[in-house]
Amino acid sequence: TQLLEQSPQFLSIQEGENLTVYCNSSSVFSSLQWYRQEPGEGPVLLVTVVTGGEVKKLKRLTFQFGDARKDSSLHITAAQPGDTGLYLCAVYNFNKFYFGSGTKLNVKP
Amino acid sequence: DAGVIQSPRHEVTEMGQEVTLRCKPISGHNSLFWYRQTMMRGLELLIYFNNNVPIDDSGMPEDRFSAKMPNASFSTLKIQPSEPRDSAVYFCASNFGWEKSGGYTFGSGTRLTVV
């Protein structure tokens, strides 16, 4: 069983559409991170959320940590082709970072 | 800062050959991590070092895999002998010790193909 379940696995949308991807777990975490990985590159940290209910915005990206600190969502407004990539959530648990399997987003022009 | 530097970017080798992947972490970061990424299994932690000392190698798949960190600015991951199922992208990442909220900085990876 995966510690983190991400959904959907794949998402293909047109430029300008909005979307939300999810990261869920049955465990409680002190913090959660979101990364974006572009083809041929390593993941890049986007944000860390630490407080239940916390909302953070990064331009057109809005990140939310669930009140119970078990889940998180990433919402992208007016997606652009440059948003294409693999979105990964990660948590620190038992002295290690664990990554979800990711949501592969393709934004078509 | 140049970031985490990995070499080579691509490696194609024949089954049975020895493969050595290299990593230079960000200067000042005292923890280094080796990950493997495949379509089937996603990102898997292989081993991590803190202050050049291996802390947890439970993710190393087999004795064919070994990793060293002789100093704070260099680490290697070696596979000997290599097998086709070792084909994957191998990432190195670094951060400041046990900083839980700081996240990792990843290198660009080494794409290994074993034929």
**A83-99 confidence digits (pLDDT tens):** 999 999 999 877 778 89
Beta-carbon contacts of residue B40 (< 8 Å; ≥ 6 apart): none
Question: Quick one: pLDDT at residue A19?
Answer: 98
Tell me whether A66 touches chain B (CB under 8 Å).
Answer: no
Q: What is the pLDDT of residue A1?
A: 63
pLDDT score at A8 = 97
- Beta-carbon separation of A97 and B108 below 8 A: no
- DSSP summary character for residue B9: S
Mean pLDDT, residues B66-70 taken together: 97
- Gap between the Cα atoms of A80 and A16, Å rounded: 6
Say if residues B105 and B3 touch (Cβ distance below 8 Å): yes
- Quick check: B98 pLDDT over 60? no
Q: Chain B: give the shortest CA distance to residue A101, in Å.
A: 5
Of A68, A79, A103, A73, nearest in space to A18 by CA? A79
The confidence score (pLDDT) of residue A2 equals 77
Of B4, B56, B101, the CB nearest to A96: B56
Given an 8 Å threshold on Cβ–Cβ distance, is A45 in contact with B105? yes
For B24-46, how does the pLDDT look when each residue is reduced to its tens digit (9 = 90+)?
999 989 899 999 999 888 999 99
CA A14 from chain center: how many Å? 19
What is the C-alpha separation between B109 and A103, in angstroms, rounded? 20
Residue A60: pLDDT band with limits 50, 70, 90: very high
Distance from CA of A48 to the nearest CA of B (A): 6
Q: Mean of the pLDDT values across residues B59-85?
A: 95
Exposure b/e, A56-92, CB count within 10 A at least 16 = b:
beeeebbbbbbeebbbbbbebeebeeebbbbbbbbbb
Contact residues, chain A, for B98 at CB < 8 Å? 95
Stretch among A67-81, B15-29, B91-105 having the lowest mean pLDDT: B91-105
Instruction: List the single residue in B91, B100, B108 with the smallest CB-CB distance to A92.
Output: B100
Q: In Å, how far is B100's CA from the nearest CA of chain A?
A: 6
pLDDT of residue B100: 53
Q: What is the pLDDT of residue A94?
A: 73
Q: What is the mean pLDDT of residues B105-112?
A: 96
Of A48, A95, A98, the CB nearest to B103: A48
Q: Name the residue among B22, B11, B1, B18 with its Cα closest to residue B91.
A: B22
Distance CA A71, CA A63 (A): 11
pLDDT recorded at residue A30:
87
Q: Is the pLDDT of residue B101 over 70?
A: no
Put simply, the answer to whether B106 touches A42 (Cβ < 8 Å) is: yes
Is the CB of B101 less than 8 angstroms away from the CB of A99? no
Q: At residue A32, does pLDDT exceed 80?
A: yes
Least confident of A6-10, A73-77, B40-44: B40-44
